[in-house]
Amino acid sequence: MEKFMQENRRNLGSFELVDFPDESQVAKIREKLDVPSPMAVRWNHWDYGSEVGELRALYEKGKDNQWNASHDIDWSLPLSKDEFISNPQESLLAQVTALMGKDEATQKAAMFDEINWVLSQLLHGEQAALQICGQLTNLCPTTDEKFYAANQVYDEARHTEVFARLLAEKMGTIYPISPNLKLLLDELLSIEGYTMKCLGMQTLFEGTAVGIMDQFRANSRNALVADVIRRVEQDESRHAAFGVLTMRRVVKQASQAEKERMEDWAFAVLEALNANQQLDMLRVLGPKYGIEPDAVVGMAMSLPEWKQFNSQPFMHTVVPNLRRLGLITERTDALWQERGMAVDSRVTGGELPLRA
């Protein structure tokens, strides 16, 4: 991952982007389906009782909150690119096409395509989560963690099912995985040890997903999309809480060197995700609307409120949790803010927001 990310960095003004303009390189990244993953299998010391009460309670909540994507969602609800299916002010492509003088029908279609793209990336992330949680059932040392990871495997299977159905049957397209996202998810799949897998998937990616989905749900104007996102987000909040409860114990027992390794790796993973600045999407969808990717990214980043807007998905859950876990400290806090991924640490405090 590190080699690819460094080779594909370039500056746009003062901001360092991660960009993959070479289509042959992108194809190779997507075609790599087998990911080597060294992994031990960990018995639980033969103690089948509850060792971590908070995790057992979360496991019980997960059992109570199951839902069936086939029966509990009204798939007859309409979903059309002829409507603004979300708040147009929250859609990059809707705003850009409006500034270009395109008609309202084009703005609606551009928003539809953008949401289709983002939901496709969430779908691919759910498949990765399904596989990583399967790994965690082998790696976690306590019964409570194994039980919860197993419960989450079912959640992730359902999320993969529901997003695939929404995209294929109602939106009409499942876009390929972003090369940037693929490399980062391969990193999580292949990294050794339950600590880093839990930090990467449960704390970083699940926490970021909760922030993205909360924005989606709050701005949705379509009943079907809102219901799907609401249900998935409810599950994802539990998953992020699992990451916090597990990492809280891990960090408490870690040496200073181990804490710094986790802190630096957390920043590297999400900085690489953020550094793409939607270029993968713009390269796919831009030509359809006459949009030049660098011009759009440069325009967005020149706005005075860019950092405030850009940081919203990160500030919703993942950054506050990392700060309170001690995995964003004075060593790295300024870097998060410089990259537009966080606002001043003084705005967060108090207890961890276990939104389960």
Assigned domain for 12 exists: no
Q: What is the pLDDT of residue 345?
A: 64
Among 5-19, 258-272, 318-332, the range scoring the smallest mean pLDDT is 5-19
Domain that holds residue 286: 82-347
Q: Bridge-partner residues for 10, per DSSP?
A: 17
In a domain, 43, yes or no: no
Q: Does residue 318 form part of some domain? A: yes
- Strand partners for 15: 12
Query: Is residue 182 situated within a structural domain?
Result: yes
Q: Specify if 38 maps to a domain.
A: no
In a domain, residue 306? The reply is yes
Q: Is residue 71 part of a domain?
A: no
The predicted pLDDT at position 166 comes to: 98
- Cα separation of 60 and 56, whole Å? 6
- pLDDT at position 277: 95
pLDDT, the chain, mean: 92
69 vs 122, 165, 206, 209, CA distance in Å? Answer: 16, 9, 20, 19
pLDDT at res. 346: 62
Q: How far apart are CA 158 and CA 161, in angstroms?
A: 5
Contact (Cβ atoms closer than 8 angstroms) between residue 71 and residue 165: no
Q: How much is the pLDDT for 172?
A: 96
Gap between the Cα atoms of 173 and 115, Å rounded = 11
- Alpha-carbon distance of 298 to 295, in angstroms, equals 5
CATH code for position 238: 1.20.1260.10
Q: Do the domain assignments include residue 310?
A: yes
> pLDDT band at 1, cuts 50/70/90?
low
pLDDT in tens, 179-200: 999 999 999 999 998 999 999 9
Task: Write out pLDDT tens, residues 93-151.
Answer: 999 999 999 999 999 999 999 999 999 999 999 999 999 999 999 999 899 999 999 99
Asked if pLDDT for residue 355 goes beyond 80, the answer is: no
Q: What pLDDT is stored for residue 347 in this prediction? A: 53
Count the domains in the chain: 1
**CA 15 vs CA 197, 296, 302: distances in Å:** 29, 14, 11
Checking if the pLDDT of 349 tops 80, the result is no
Phi, psi of 210 (to 5 degrees): -60, -40
